[in-house]
Amino acid sequence: MNINYSKGANPYGLTSYVLSPEKQEQGQAEPILATNMVGLNAEELAEEFRFVHDYNPRVKKTMVHYSVSLSPQEHKSPEEISAISNAVLERTGHQDCQYFVVEHHDRQARHQVQHWHIVTSAVDMHAKWVDDAFIKIRLKHLERELEETFGLEQTKVRAKPERYNLTTGEYRLKERTGGELTKEKLWRSLQTHTADQPSMLMLVTRLKAADISVRLYARDGQIDGISYGMEGIAFPGYKLGAAYSFKGLQRHLGIDHAPEQDELLRRVNLLTAQQCRQLVKQSKDRDSAVIPQVEENSTVQLELAQDMLAIALQVFTINHQAGRTQETEAGVWRLSGKRYASSYDSAAREFSLTSLDDRGLRIQGQVEGEALRVTAAQHIQEHDLAAFEEMRRIVDMVSVQSPLQEL
What number of helices (H) and strands (E) belong to the chain?
15, 14
CB 17 within 8 A of CB 9: no
What are the phi and psi torsion angles at 114 (to 5°)?
Answer: -85, 130
Q: Is residue 160 over pLDDT 70? A: no
Q: Is residue 287 over pLDDT 60? A: no
pLDDT at 271: 86
Q: pLDDT, tens digit, for every residue of 100-124?
A: 999 998 766 566 789 999 999 999 9
Question: Measuring CA to CA, how many Å separate 311 from each of 253, 255, 339?
Answer: 26, 21, 15
3-state secondary structure of 64: strand
pLDDT at 288: 42
Q: pLDDT, tens digit, for every residue of 236-286?
A: 999 998 899 999 999 888 898 888 888 888 888 888 899 888 888 877 655
**Cβ atoms within 10 Å, residue 232:** 7
CB 102 within 8 A of CB 18: yes
Q: Is residue 406 over pLDDT 60? A: no
CB 81 within 8 A of CB 36: no
Mean pLDDT within 205-226 = 92
3-state secondary structure of 60: coil
The pLDDT confidence band at residue 293, using thresholds 50, 70 and 90, is very low
Strand partners, 341: 336, 354
What kind and span of H or E run contains 106? helix 106-111
Q: pLDDT, tens digit, for every residue of 325-363?
A: 999 999 999 998 878 899 999 999 999 999 887 778 889
Q: CATH 3.30.930.30 residue ranges in the chain?
A: 2-157
Q: What is the CATH number of domain 2-157?
A: 3.30.930.30
3-state secondary structure of 3: strand
CB 301 within 8 A of CB 379: no
CB 70 within 8 A of CB 17: no
Q: Is residue 61 over pLDDT 90? A: yes
Q: Is residue 39 over pLDDT 90? A: yes
Ranked by mean pLDDT, the top range of 116-120, 133-137, 384-388 is 116-120
Strand partners, 342: 335, 353
The pLDDT confidence band at residue 130, using thresholds 50, 70 and 90, is very high
Q: Of 62-66, 241-245, 402-406, which gets the smallest average pLDDT? A: 402-406
**Cβ atoms within 10 Å, residue 218:** 12
Q: Is residue 207 over pLDDT 50? A: yes
